[in-house]
């Protein structure tokens, strides 16, 4: 183990000597040496300590993990927090109604007293990092099976987490890197009182919606503003009227300078997941099976959403956030499959694997060490490919398909307690604990829409999945009805309590077994099928092959930039503002302007309508100090930074540490980027901070917020 760890450490040191400016999601605490020199050569004027330090305030203290899936940053001394509109949309939607349509009209708190609390929303501040590889792998040997290895790692990790946490109210995570060749411990402070401060109207924050998603040029004001509150002593606390705005340890000044081609850009945030060192089999699985299956299910779901949302404004409010969530990765997988093919990523992985084989057999020790890993890959993917489609349909069209079926999942624990004859007090406690979530579910539930979604998805499920892999209930009903689940769903919705709030609450007051409820029974039958399929799929593993392949690649390609795959830990990327030439005879400018917004404007269109106040400001060319040197108002710009999902809401920071943009998307030509970084065409799409200030100042006239910001020219 010592020899392996030493080899890994050498490889980790080498990776910092060969970084290219734009590719790479770096661990910010490791930014030093050549890596920092490259950043400074591109224009960065900050020291490593100014970027990341535990000893003094630094940029990292302004960055938060937002809501479990996005990034945010502090922009004032009083805990004002900026993130993307699409990250905050579900919280805005929860406060919206037909009478107070914060989705369409926007929301602006004119004082702290008007800021709105958000149940379940929290942000994490990173407070400590430690490489714990040696401790986690203590006692692990090459003679262990993967099951034994995993058990030992889990045992060691649990002890470490308990030890590091102690009696402190903190979150401790131990995260694997490089496919289990390295382990790093992270400690976070979690703040649970996060209040909504401002959100632009739909025609700004969601402008372009599905049509423009994942594409450039963009014209979107993708921002939402919150505030972090603490207990009076500054410590993290649950919501309370006695809480006070956070005193920011560090916050980002906002620059009015604007951007030019070649300007240095740095992004700090929490990218979710990449898989850039995977085998060719993983790429082929996405192209042939995973991507098409997800697209098929979500296309079907979105068709029903759109039909009902277009017909009723109240349904639009209820389902705006849900539709956006489904749609985002629907279009993502369309683009990913297309660009994986276009960029020949599968062929590139095959070539890399052949290089590895040639390198491996050129040395007796290497041949012995890495023997069999490609057989393991082939065996795994040949096995997994038999289950991929069925597992995805089971999830996307099954237990996460119709909402009532998904809702039924919440009742499993209570129903199990009833059937196991738990004490009346235990059952009552569980039942009463569910009532708040029932109220939340039905607030944004439309039975007619869910009926149509459920019918369409079950029809698709039955038609597309191998009959031997269907849940027994779906196969039986589909065979009987020739694949038309209309009557089955109508009957289930008529008899089930789970589509009626009053019936659910009445049941919770006197709970009895739900096993014969048709929707609960359908849910459980789908879930049981999923368990069986998952167990069958997991009988073959590639964990050992992944780990050894990663180690071997790092040994073989000592001059390659082996930054770790994204895994929702804080990362830093650096690059520059640049145009983009995605294909022959096509050049995209690095900026878009408000003129471009108005060129797409379609009155009454849910994607391309804009607020009247914005139109008036455009007609009068009333941009004030936020116009560029040509008198235009820049809306969005693009950079060469390397980001992925989870980076939504990340700050785009200039050479001096000022906020110049808000990252919110990637471009269509590089949708294969989570698997393979495309050096020539990969771009990060950002909202210009001048557009943010223009909306706050000129359109919303939210002077209470303007007075709180630090603006540099």
Identify how many contiguous H helices and E strands the chain contains and give both numbers. Answer: 29, 22
**Can 222 be counted among the known catalytic residues?**
yes
- Work out the burial of residue 458: count CB atoms within 10 Å of its CB; fewer than 13 is exposed, 13-18 middle, 19 or more buried: buried
Check if the beta carbon of residue 271 is closer than 8 Å to that of residue 673: no
**Can 86 be counted among the known catalytic residues?**
yes
Strand partners, 65: 71, 124
Distance CA 258, CA 694 (A): 13
Strand partners, 116: 196
Give the active site residue among 648, 650, 672, 676.
Answer: 648
193-199 and 116-117: which strand pairing?
A: antiparallel
DSSP state of 669: G
DSSP state of 139: T
Backbone angles phi, psi at 651, to 5 degrees: -75, 140
Give the active site residue among 22, 76, 86, 189.
Answer: 86
Distance CA 124, CA 171 (A): 9
Q: Is the omega angle on the peptide bond into residue 366 within 30 degrees of 0, that is, cis?
A: no
- Work out the burial of residue 266: count CB atoms within 10 Å of its CB; fewer than 13 is exposed, 13-18 middle, 19 or more buried: buried
Give the alpha-carbon dihedral of 370, 375, 381, 387, to 10 degrees: -120
Which two structure tokens, joined as six digits, stand for 628? 């560029």
In 3-state terms, what secondary structure has residue 368? helix
| Closest listed residue to residue 655, CA positions, set 306, 335, 260, 339 | 260
DSSP state of 130: E
Which two structure tokens, joined as six digits, stand for 59? 């940029």
Distance CA 554, CA 74 (A): 37
Helix (H) or strand (E) holding 701: none
Which two structure tokens, joined as six digits, stand for 241? 């009227």
CA 542 to chain centre: 25
Distance CA 182, CA 542 (A): 17
DSSP state of 596: H
| Closest listed residue to residue 511, CA positions, set 408, 410, 411 | 411
First to last CA, the chain: 54
Helix (H) or strand (E) holding 227: strand 224-230
Strand partners, 556: none
Which two structure tokens, joined as six digits, stand for 153? 């790692």
Helices 518-537 and 472-481, axial angle in degrees (round to 10)? 120
- Work out the burial of residue 632: count CB atoms within 10 Å of its CB; fewer than 13 is exposed, 13-18 middle, 19 or more buried: middle
Contact residues for 360 (Cβ-Cβ < 8 A; gap 6+): 366, 367, 370, 552
- Work out the burial of residue 168: count CB atoms within 10 Å of its CB; fewer than 13 is exposed, 13-18 middle, 19 or more buried: exposed
Give the active site residue among 222, 450, 517, 688.
Answer: 222
**Can 179 be counted among the known catalytic residues?**
no
CA 399 to chain centre: 21
| Closest listed residue to residue 445, CA positions, set 407, 396, 488, 397 | 407
Report, as residue numbers or ranges, the catalytic residues: 86, 222, 648
């Amino acid at each position: 183990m010592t020899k392996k760890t030493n080899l890994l450490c050498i490889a980790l040191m080498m990776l910092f000597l060969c970084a290219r400016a734009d590719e790479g999601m770096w661990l910010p605490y490791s930014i030093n040496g050549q890596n920092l020199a490259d950043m400074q050569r591109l224009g960065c004027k900050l020291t490593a300590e100014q970027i990341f330090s535990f000893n003094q305030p630094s940029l990292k203290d302004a960055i938060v993990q937002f809501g479990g899936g996005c990034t945010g940053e502090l922009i004032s001394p009083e805990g004002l927090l900026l993130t993307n509109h699409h990250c905050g949309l579900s919280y805005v939607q929860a406060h919206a109604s037909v009478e107070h349509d914060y989705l369409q009209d926007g929301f602006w708190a004119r004082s702290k007293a008007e800021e709105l609390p958000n149940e379940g929303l929290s942000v994490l501040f990173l407070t400590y990092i430690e490489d714990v590889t040696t401790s986690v792998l203590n006692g692990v040997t090459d003679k262990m099976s993967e099951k034994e290895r995993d058990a030992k790692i889990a045992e060691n990790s649990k002890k470490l987490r308990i030890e590091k946490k102690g009696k402190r109210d903190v979150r401790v995570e131990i995260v694997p890197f490089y496919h289990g060749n390295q382990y790093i411990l992270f400690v976070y402070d979690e703040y649970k009182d996060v209040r909504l401060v401002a959100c632009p109207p739909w025609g700004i924050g969601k402008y372009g919606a599905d049509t423009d998603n994942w594409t450039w040029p963009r014209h979107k004001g993708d921002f939402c503003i919150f505030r972090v509150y603490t207990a009076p002593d500054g410590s993290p606390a649950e919501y309370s009227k006695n809480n006070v705005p956070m005193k920011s340890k560090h916050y980002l000044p906002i620059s009015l300078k604007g951007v030019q081609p070649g300007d240095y850009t740095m992004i700090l945030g929490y990218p979710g997941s990449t898989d850039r060192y995977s085998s060719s089999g993983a790429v082929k699985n996405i192209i042939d099976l995973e991507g098409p299956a997800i697209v098929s299910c979500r296309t079907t779901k979105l068709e029903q959403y759109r039909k009902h949302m277009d017909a009723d404004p109240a349904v639009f409010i209820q389902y705006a956030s849900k539709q956006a969530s489904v749609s985002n990765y629907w279009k993502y997988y369309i683009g990913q499959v297309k660009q994986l093919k276009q960029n020949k990523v599968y062929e590139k992985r095959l070539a890399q694997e052949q290089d590895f084989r040639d390198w491996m057999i050129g040395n007796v020790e290497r041949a012995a060490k890495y023997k069999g890993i490609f057989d393991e890959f082939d065996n795994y993917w040949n096995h997994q490919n038999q289950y991929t489609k069925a597992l995805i349909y089971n999830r996307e069209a099954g237990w996460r398909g119709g909402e009532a079926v998904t809702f039924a999942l919440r009742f499993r624990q209570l129903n199990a307690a009833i059937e196991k004859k738990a004490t009346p007090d235990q059952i009552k406690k569980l039942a009463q604990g569910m009532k708040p979530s029932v109220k939340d579910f039905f607030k944004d539930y439309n039975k007619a829409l869910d009926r149509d979604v459920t019918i369409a998805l079950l029809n698709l499920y039955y038609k597309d999945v191998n009959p031997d892999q269907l849940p027994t209930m779906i196969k039986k009903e589909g065979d009987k009805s020739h694949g038309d689940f209309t009557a089955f769903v109508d009957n289930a919705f008529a008899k089930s309590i789970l589509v009626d709030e009053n019936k659910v609450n009445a049941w919770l007051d006197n709970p009895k077994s739900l096993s014969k409820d048709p929707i609960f029974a359908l849910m459980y039958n789908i879930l049981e099928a999923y368990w069986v399929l998952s167990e069958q799929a997991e009988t073959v593993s590639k964990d050992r092959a992944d780990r050894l392949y990663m180690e071997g690649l790092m040994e073989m390609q000592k001059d390659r930039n082996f930054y770790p795959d994204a895994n929702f830990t804080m990362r830093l990327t650096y690059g520059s503002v640049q145009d983009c030439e995605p294909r022959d005879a096509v050049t995209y400018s690095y900026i878009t302007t408000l003129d471009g917004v108005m060129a797409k404007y379609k009155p009454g269109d849910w994607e391309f309508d804009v607020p009247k106040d914005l139109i008036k400001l455009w007609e009068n060319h009333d941009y004030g100090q936020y116009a560029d040197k040509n008198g235009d108002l820049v809306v969005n710009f693009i950079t060469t930074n390397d980001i992925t999902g989870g980076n939504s809401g990340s700050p785009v920071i200039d050479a001096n540490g000022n906020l110049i943009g808000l990252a919110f998307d990637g471009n269509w030509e590089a949708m294969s980027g989570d698997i393979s970084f495309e050096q020539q065409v990969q771009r990060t799409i950002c909202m210009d901070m001048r557009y943010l200030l223009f909306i706050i100042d000129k359109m919303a006239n939210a002077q209470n917020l303007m007075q709180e910001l630090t603006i540099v020219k």
